[in-house]
Amino acid sequence: MSNIDFSAYTDSVVNAIGPKASPRVKQAFPILIRKIHEFLIEADVTTEEWMEACNLMVEAGAISSEKRNEVVLVTDVLGIESLVNTLDQTRVQRKAANGVANSSAKENPTDSAILGPFYRSGVPVQPNGTCIIRQDEPGAPYTHLFGTIYGADGKPLPNALVDIWHDAPDGFYDAQSPEKPEYHCRGRFKTDAEGRYSTVCLRPTAYPIPFDHSAGKLLQMMDRHPYRPAHIHFWIEADGHKTLVTQIFDSDSDYLTDDAVFAVRDKLIVYFQPISKDYTPPKECEGKMKFELQQDFHLQKAE
């Protein structure tokens, strides 16, 4: 075994990349191959261990669907999605420093955060000011969430798409609970002529990520907890601007310093306030309002 030239073997795999591969493949795949081979050799991985890893990913793919992406969840608990997100932000900051991006921006773009496994496309757009709580949640912290979407020039953006989703008080998303109404605690809105959006949602709850399959097995192997701090997801689109995928985190929540998926950013921690006496909620939410949160977002120019 000691006579095997592992370096030459890795080189042979890298050199097998053909001339018609794209420039990006030619750039990235040699790094990928060398790092994976380096890990396998240094950790002295056995065939049985490698097959277990493959089976774990097969399991993750088998249970993934439009409502739950277990493969993404696996990357989350390993800190991969959050790291890629950080690389995206660092790339934007480098371009801005070089005068390439957002040269006319009056505010720094809002920090992004991971998409997570429970994003759902095709959610119907509903009128501004309406509620995304699709079933009564007695005693829950009903919240007026509102704000303005700003463009790279610092001006409000009309007709921007604001996609919002969060967990219910039991810690589950609609996609995890067949008994929940469709799109419970999830909704899409278009900003008005002054770039404003508004909805009634819930103050979110800290919860454990699903640990019934692949991601849970990884957490148990690493002796780690599965909990995430209370947060609300956003997906924001506007013409001429880069789509912003982000989260905001409740300042009073547990797990802000040890998020199971490493997604918390200090600039994304927010402070909920008692509901204003001047606010008039939708009729179905009367007598239930407890908090309000004004959350503005600043987008960056599309590349």
At 6, the amino acid letter reads: F
Quote the pTM value. Answer: 0.85
pLDDT recorded at residue 123: 95
Q: pLDDT exceeding 90 applies to what percent of the chain? A: 79
Query: Using one digit for the tens of pLDDT, what is the confidence trace for 94-147?
Result: 776 676 554 445 568 999 999 988 899 989 999 999 999 999 999 999 999 999
d(C-alpha 7, C-alpha 26), whole Å = 19
- Range 230-238 average pLDDT: 98
Task: Report the SS3 class of residue 56.
Answer: helix
Per-residue pLDDT band for 179 (boundaries 50, 70, 90) equals: confident
pLDDT of residue 258: 95
Q: DSSP letter at 280?
A: -
Q: Is the pLDDT of residue 1 over 50?
A: no
230 pLDDT more than 50: yes
Mean pLDDT of the chain: 92
* Phi, psi (degrees; rounded to nearest 5) at 154: 85, 0
Q: What is the pLDDT of residue 177?
A: 83
Residue with the larger pLDDT of the pair 92 and 120: 120
Whether the predicted pLDDT of 67 surpasses 90: no
Q: Which pLDDT tens digit goes with each residue over 5-57?
A: 899 999 999 999 999 999 999 999 999 999 999 999 999 999 999 999 999 99
Three-state secondary structure call for residue 123: coil
pLDDT tens-digit profile of 240-274?
A: 999 999 999 999 999 999 999 999 999 999 999 99
What average pLDDT does the segment 266-290 reach? 96
Q: Averaged over 278-282, what is the pLDDT?
A: 96
Provide the pLDDT for residue 213: 84
pLDDT at position 117, please? Answer: 86
What 3-state class would DSSP assign to 93?
helix
Q: What value does the mean pLDDT take over residues 276-280?
A: 95
- State which fold the 70-298 domain adopts: Protocatechuate 3,4-Dioxygenase, subunit A (2.60.130)
8 A C-beta contact, residue 176 and residue 169: no
Do 238 and 160 touch, CB atoms closer than 8 A?
Answer: yes
Please give the C-alpha separations between residue 250 and each of 46, 68, 215, 225, in angstroms, as whole numbers.
43, 24, 24, 19
